[in-house]
Amino acid sequence: MDLISNLATGFAVALTPLNLAFCLMGVIIGTLVGVLPGIAPITTIAILLPFTFTLPPASALIMLSGIFYGAQYGGSTTAILVNLPGESSSIVTCLDGHQMARQGRAGPALAIAAIASFFAGTVATVIIATASVPLSWLAIKFTAAEYFSLMVLGLTGSVALAHGSPAKAIAMVLLGLLFGLVGIDVNTGLPRMTLNIGELGDGIGFVPIAIGMFGIAELAVALGRPQDRSLLSVAVKNLWPNWLEIRACLPAMTRGTAIGSILGVLPGGGAALSSFAAYAVEKKVSATPERFGKGAIEGVAAPEAANNAGAQTSFIPLLTLGIPGNAIMALMVGAMMIHGIQPGPQVMTAQPELFWGIIASMWLGNLMLIVLNLPLIGLWVSLLRVPYRILFPAIVLFCCIGTFSVSNSTFDIALMLLFAVAGVFFIKVGAEPAPFILGFILGPLMEENFRRAMNLSRGNVLVFLERPISAALLVATLALLVVLILPAVRAKREEVFQE
């Protein structure tokens, strides 16, 4: 009954005209960035962060959430019709989705992608609502020692699941932790690593880093890639799949939703990893694996269900524990802090309208997406005709305005450009910026919880091992590290990312 009353509270918030409008705006923007290759949802959320300052917290978070899961829908449209994944989680959809389009079955491919996404979104919303209560109950038992250990596990997980070399991912985490410590030491009141620059006294701003690394840097790298958009004339006929196709897709959607729901919760997981894993599983369990890659409709249903479920369940650790599991969730933490909300289990008890409003809006957003996507396919595809060289200057200008508007500081724009250059360098040398931003966000929180734990235990370092939950989290971290350095696991990991 609590769940029903909580969801009723959430729908009462999400159904207000203002929040409905921002939910619609979020999913439209999300679909748009999903359609346009090179503009990822993380880029868009980073750019729009400063513009949410004046909005009510619930409206701002509902809109930013809508961009994230809306992009999963949009990415599938161009993946199927143009063989061009607008979003990394849609890469797998190209394999069978575009083959279906070439065989004249673009309509069923698009329809099953939308149906699978809506099915997964609905299930994921229920999972978030049911899992949040026990997880928050557990989180209330957390003290500073448990929070510190949980953050160590989260950062280790982000290293394990990052693309490329683990050594580079560890280096990026440490670099992020270091940058997160710049500013005034809250205990001594002395400046720390500020290089005598007055503007760094309050630390490095989150917005310049986010926009620089995930906005301008990602766009600049995308600008350097060839933009092949030649297959725009695929006809969309007979939109709905037949009963046999739907029956074949039901188990695939269910498995994809389950895989996405689990992987979305893991640190470093999310939509992209979920879609790859779901496709691999579907191919293995199929009685006719040779059909995959040649237009198998299950090869569209499973990854599309997985990426939407993974996108939504990645909110679970953020909303219940205050721990971002991936870079987009790190940006959501930044958005919550900008609005004066301390992420963690207290959000559910102190601001239930906000918490349940975001969850309810996810289901409404998914409903809007299925209504919007299918009738407007022609409009979304026509957007691909906009030359990237025209979009790029407009987006850079938008980034500068957004960064400047935070504190009316030109220093922040200089920082943004500096981190944009650093972001391009990191991408070019194969070091993902995502572990950096996780380290940057979690660094000050880890320091705060470490110091608090040490103060409460009067300097006894063993406090992290004496408390059962903290010890279990550290053991899990150690196990993850051991697994990560095993030669067989490392070889398999590289093989998976290569695929």
Q: pLDDT tens across 9-39, in order?
A: 888 998 999 999 999 999 888 888 877 766 7
For the residues 136-151, what does the mean pLDDT come to?
81
Which tens digits make up the pLDDT trace of 284-327? 888 888 888 888 888 888 888 888 888 888 888 777 777 776 77
Asked if residues 305 and 260 have their Cβ atoms less than 8 Å apart, the reply is: yes
Q: Domain range for residue 79?
A: 3-497
What is the rounded average pLDDT of the residues 380-387?
Answer: 70
- Average of per-residue pLDDT across 339-368: 82
CB neighbourhood size of 158 (10 A): 31
Report the domain count for the chain.
1
User: Confidence band (pLDDT; 50, 70, 90) for 491?
Assistant: low
State the Cα–Cα distance between residues 488 and 269, nearest whole angstrom: 21
* Two structure tokens written together for 447: 């320091």
CA distance 292 to 294: 5
- 90-99, 217-226, 247-256: range with lowest mean pLDDT: 217-226
pLDDT in tens, 158-172: 776 666 677 888 888
Contact 29, 297 (CB under 8 A): no
| Per-residue pLDDT, 490 | 61
Q: Average pLDDT of 204-221?
A: 81
How far apart are alpha carbons 174 and 148 in whole angstroms? 15
- pLDDT over 80 (residue 180): yes
Closest residue by Cα to residue 36 from 310, 235, 219: 219
DSSP 8-state assignment for residue 88: G
